[in-house]
């Protein structure tokens, strides 16, 4: 997965020209989902808000297909995060970072599922 496909930005940052911009605050139910304990929101399959779950899945498909997206939060002025930092999500309070984390996680699951299908369902990819 190419981390350059998904980017998080704060309120004072500008989106990349080649990327589609999504604002966390405009996705109804997203903030409420991430306000829960990490043990609840990190289990994507157990989300109760299907609309938010579908939105995350659609963004994961976007980056899986190679589209660039920028996630803009309303909680940070500036947001600079590396792939390694994204993996340490439990320490973050930023909704943009949590959103990017879940999109990346779902995109990885999509890639893994495709790999398994192409190898007749075996686990060696």
Averaged over successive runs of 10 residues, the pLDDT of the chain (125 residues) comes to: 78 94 95 89 91 97 96 86 58 84 93 79 54
Count of other CB atoms within 10 angstroms of residue 78? 9
Main-chain phi, psi angles of 96, to 5 degrees:
-65, -45
Cβ-contact 51, 57 below 8 angstroms: no
Predicted local confidence at residue 124, as pLDDT? 53
pTM for the predicted model, two decimal places: 0.83
Predicted local confidence at residue 115, as pLDDT? 78
Predicted local confidence at residue 113, as pLDDT? 84
- Residue 71 pairs in a beta bridge with 8, 22
Helices (H), the chain: 30-34, 38-41, 50-64, 83-87, 95-118
- Reported as half-sphere exposure (CB side, CA atoms, 13 A), residue 84 has a value of 0
Predicted local confidence at residue 1, as pLDDT? 44
Predicted local confidence at residue 76, as pLDDT? 86
Predicted local confidence at residue 74, as pLDDT? 86
């Amino acid at each position: 997965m190419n981390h350059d496909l998904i980017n998080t930005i704060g309120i004072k940052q500008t989106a990349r020209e080649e990327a589609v911009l999504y604002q966390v605050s405009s996705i109804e139910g997203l903030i409420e989902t991430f306000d829960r304990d990490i043990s609840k929101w990190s289990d994507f399959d157990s989300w109760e808000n299907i609309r938010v779950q579908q939105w995350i899945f659609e963004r994961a498909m976007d980056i899986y297909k190679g589209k660039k997206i920028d996630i803009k939060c309303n909680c940070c002025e500036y947001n600079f995060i590396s792939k390694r930092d994204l993996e340490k999500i439990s320490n973050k309070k930023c909704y943009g970072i949590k959103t990017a984390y879940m999109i990346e996680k779902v995109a990885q699951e999509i890639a893994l599922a495709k790999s398994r299908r192409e190898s007749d369902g075996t686990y060696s990819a």
